[in-house]
Copies of this chain bind each other. A is one copy, B any other.
Amino acid sequence: MSRASDRAYSAIRSMILSGELPAGAQLGEEALAEKCGVSRTPVREALRRLEADMLVLRTDTQRSFVADWSLDDVADAFDLRAKLEGMAARRAAERMTPKSLERIRAANRMLHEAISQPQPDIEGFLECNREFHAAILETAGSRRLAALLGTLIEQPVVWRTAHQYSREALHRSHGEHEELATAFARRDGAWAEAIMASHILRAYHAYADAHRGPAAITVREAAE
């Protein structure tokens, strides 16, 4: 993190995630360089990385812009994430060790603490949630799967909606994590995969409900 290009990457990324750089904004290399206090060289490198993350879009003439996320794009990303994290959960269940299981359970215990306080600690929740999923991904033991998921996990979307979660939603997450831990303990890959997929897709619908008109919600509820 001490390299200038890493600083530029983090700085630009958090400007995008926080909304300081809104969707569609042009990302001039010179301007960013000045903002980050580095030269254009590391900024260029950071932009390429962000492009790979799909947070930045480049036109056919090499201009960079903050990517905008339509509801379809978000649905897409969650759909993929559900499939891939499902695969990770299955693999993790098949490869589970006592040590990994304990790490996963410890993360969820800390998560429970964070959300059980009078005023839920959302940052703590996010951190524990990240650690929980990271532990699973590591246990899955596929560098390639980890790389693919890397571009899907920290989306602007999740970032900004976590703070709207109700206490009930936070506790439901905790409960699903507990169920996952049980599936892991039993080494039941199919179960773990199914729980994980539903866990991710529930998060998607929480997002979608908050970001589209109530009409769609009605349709969805009617279909259930």
A residues in contact (CB < 8 Å) with B? 41, 44-45, 48-49, 52, 54, 73, 76-77, 80, 83-84, 87, 142-145, 147-148, 151-152
In the complex, the answer to whether B148 meets A76 with C-beta atoms within 8 Å is: no
Docked complex Cα distance between A143 and B52 (Å): 12
Question: Are A83 and B73 CB-contacts (below 8 A) given A45-B48, A54-B147, A144-B54?
Answer: no
C-alpha gap A49/B34 in the complex (Å): 25
Q: Mostly helix, strand, loop or mixed at chain A's interface?
A: helix
Q: How many copies does the complex hold?
A: 2
CA distance A48 to B53 in the complex (A): 13
What is the CB-to-nearest-CB distance from A24 to chain B, in angstroms, rounded to a whole number? 16
Smallest CB separation, A47 vs chain B (Å): 11
User: Cβ of A80: which chain B residues have Cβ within 8 Å of it?
Assistant: 87, 142, 144-145, 148
Task: State in angstroms the CA–CA spacing of A34 and B54 once bound together.
Answer: 32
Instruction: Indicate if the CB atoms of A144 and B73 lie closer than 8 Å.
Output: yes
Known: A52-B52, A83-B83, A87-B83. A76 touches B145 (CB 8 A): yes
If A83-B83, A83-B87, A87-B83 touch, does A144 touch B76 (CB 8 Å cutoff)? yes
